[in-house]
């Protein structure tokens, strides 16, 4: 299986709250897990990424939590702001270290209410 | 640097017409890919290339052709457009050899087939 399953499909969070988006994968050969952020009319942009040798990575208000045994990883957005309103995609590589074949989740539409 | 440039931004085709979506990058990236984005389905890989002269099929290649004669350019050809090809198309590039494991996406081409 080469699927990456993402949930929820949409999410509404109040300003200052925590946004949590979850992804699960099946292929244990995956070795790179990026998150992308996409604003309307724009292409996806790399937000943060993690490799399976660590359980957590934090960059500013964005944190990836990774559970290798459960084959799950999640994005946490702390102190969510209206400017974070966007579609978020998780992804995984199919071949070790070579991101020529990124497999994407179906996306989560995040709305942060002021 | 312009990054990844896609043209045109919008296009309307009649069923059966052919066209080429252009993609160019100025970052000297080896890897380039084409994805299509449809509501609720995330980004699905159409074709990819690991270098000039080398291409391969992704998840949804039917109805599309690609070629990679130079490092910079990776055009996507629709041979005979069908309404099912109505979508937003994204070109992306990366180069792990440069320490760039995340894809850089273009701004997309919105294609409507009537």
pLDDT of A1 over the 70 cut: no
* Interchain contact, A106 vs B42, CB within 8 Å: yes
β-strand pairing of A33-38 with A86-95: antiparallel
| Cis peptide, bond prior to residue B8, ω within 30 of zero | yes
Q: Does B46 touch chain A (CB under 8 A)?
A: no
Low-confidence ranges of chain B (pLDDT < 70): 1, 98-101
Terminal-to-terminal C-alpha distance of chain A: 40
Q: How confident is the model at residue A99 (pLDDT cuts 50, 70, 90)?
A: very low
Among the partner residues B41, B96, B103, nearest to A102 by beta-carbon distance: B103
Q: How confident is the model at residue A81 (pLDDT cuts 50, 70, 90)?
A: very high
- Best A31, A93, A100, A106 member to test B by mutation, with max B CBs in 10 Å, is A100
DSSP letters, A24-84, are: EE--TT---EEEEEE-TTS--EEEEEE-TT-SEEEETTEEEEEETTTTEEEEEESS--GGG
Say if CB B78 and CB B60 are below 8 A apart. Answer: no
* Residue-level pLDDT at A65: 96
Q: How buried is residue A2: exposed, middle or buried, by Cβ count under 10 Å (0-12/13-18/19+)?
A: middle
Q: For residue B85, which phi and psi values (nearest 5 degrees)?
A: -90, 5
B105: closest CA of chain A, how far (Å): 6
Q: How buried is residue B28: exposed, middle or buried, by Cβ count under 10 Å (0-12/13-18/19+)?
A: exposed
pLDDT of A28 over the 90 cut: no
* Residue-level pLDDT at B100: 61
| Mean pLDDT of the residues in chain B | 93
């Amino acid at each position: 299986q080469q699927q990456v399953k993402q949930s929820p499909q949409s999410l509404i969070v109040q300003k200052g709250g925590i946004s949590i988006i979850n992804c699960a994968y099946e292929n244990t050969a995956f070795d790179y897990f990026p998150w992308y952020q996409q604003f309307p009319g724009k292409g996806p942009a790399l937000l943060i990424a993690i490799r399976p040798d660590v359980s957590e990575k934090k960059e500013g208000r964005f944190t990836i939590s990774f559970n290798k045994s459960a084959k799950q990883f999640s994005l946490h957005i702390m102190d969510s702001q209206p400017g974070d309103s966007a579609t978020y995609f998780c992804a995984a590589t199919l071949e070790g270290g070579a991101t020529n074949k990124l497999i994407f989740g179906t996306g989560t539409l995040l709305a942060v209410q002021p | 640097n312009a990054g990844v440039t896609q043209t045109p931004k919008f296009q309307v085709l009649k069923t059966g017409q052919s066209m080429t979506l252009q993609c160019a990058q100025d970052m000297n990236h080896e890897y380039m890919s084409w994805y299509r984005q449809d509501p609720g389905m995330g980004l699905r890989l159409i074709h990819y290339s690991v270098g000039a002269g080398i291409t391969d099929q992704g998840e949804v290649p039917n109805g599309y052709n690609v070629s990679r004669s130079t490092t910079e350019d990776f055009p996507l050809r629709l041979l005979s457009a069908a309404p099912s090809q109505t979508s937003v198309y994204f070109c992306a590039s990366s180069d792990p050899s440069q320490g760039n494991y995340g894809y850089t996406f273009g701004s997309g081409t919105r294609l409507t087939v009537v």
